[in-house]
Amino acid sequence: DAKTTQPTSMDCAEGRAANLPCNHSTISGNEYVYWYRQIHSQGPQYIIHGLKNNETNEMASLIITEDRKSSTLILPHATLRDTAVYYCIVRVEVRDMRFGAGTRLTVKP
Amino acid sequence: EAQVTQNPRYLITVTGKKLTVTCSQNMNHEYMSWYRQDPGLGLRQIYYSMNVEVTDKGDVPEGYKVSRKEKRNFPLILESPSPNQTSLYFCASSPRGTWTIETEAFFGQGTRLTVV
């Protein structure tokens, strides 16, 4: 059973914020929310993760709702190089990391 | 530079000819794993290893073998490759596999395997 639901695709204008949603209504109390992205056919790249608090790093921000049933990854100023498939993953241990179909983000000039 | 290195990057082989795809990490990570990626099926885990001499099956282990004789290396072995193993393969590593540690995974650049 899929643990997360993401839109299949999204577009974003270059320089604008990209907001990628993820639903994880069955998340359990000890599961973290992780985001990875895959540019073309390269290896997936870690972006950010969180448990229940909002998180920010040099790449992105992660907003997790209070009930933890959904989250949003925010790329504050999207560039063409951010065009990729973005995966939202919920897991406890890294061996439980399962990738869904993800969201294909296209950043347009 | 911290990295996960896979070799070869591209490989075309014939059915039944044994092959090994190597994976090496220089970060002293305990956890390593293999995924395959196919159109419409996404990334699926083949095998993983929590530490040296500890390996376990993932979701699609049939037709594959692995070994973890030393911490840095985790080779993927196809004893008798078949065309349905044509895929893009990724190796990943992480500091630890246990739940008490928040861990990100580092992925290699992939090996594109074609079995004819």
Print pLDDT tens along chain B (116 aa).
889 999 999 999 999 999 999 999 999 999 999 999 999 898 999 999 999 999 999 999 999 999 999 999 999 999 999 999 999 999 999 998 776 556 789 999 999 999 99
- With contact defined as beta carbons under 8 Å apart, do B9 and B110 qualify? yes
Structure tokens at B99: 């739940």
Closest CA to B9 of B116, B112, B103, B99: B112
Task: Say yes or no for a CB contact (<8 Å) between A94 and B31.
Answer: yes
Rounded distance, CA A19 to CA A34, Å?
Answer: 15
> What letter would DSSP give residue B101?
S
Q: Distance, in angstroms, between A17 CA and closest chain B CA?
A: 24
User: Confidence band (pLDDT; 50, 70, 90) for A1?
Assistant: very low
From the list A30, A34, A44, which residue is nearest B107 (CB)? A44
User: Confidence band (pLDDT; 50, 70, 90) for A47?
Assistant: very high
User: Confidence band (pLDDT; 50, 70, 90) for A2?
Assistant: low
Q: Is A58 part of the contact surface with chain B (CB cutoff 8 Å)?
A: no
The burial class, CB within 10 Å (0-12 / 13-18 / 19+), for A101 is middle
Task: Say yes or no for a CB contact (<8 Å) between B108 and A93.
Answer: no
Q: Distance, in angstroms, between A108 CA and closest chain B CA?
A: 24
Number of cross-chain residue pairs from A and B with Cβ atoms under 8 Å apart: 57
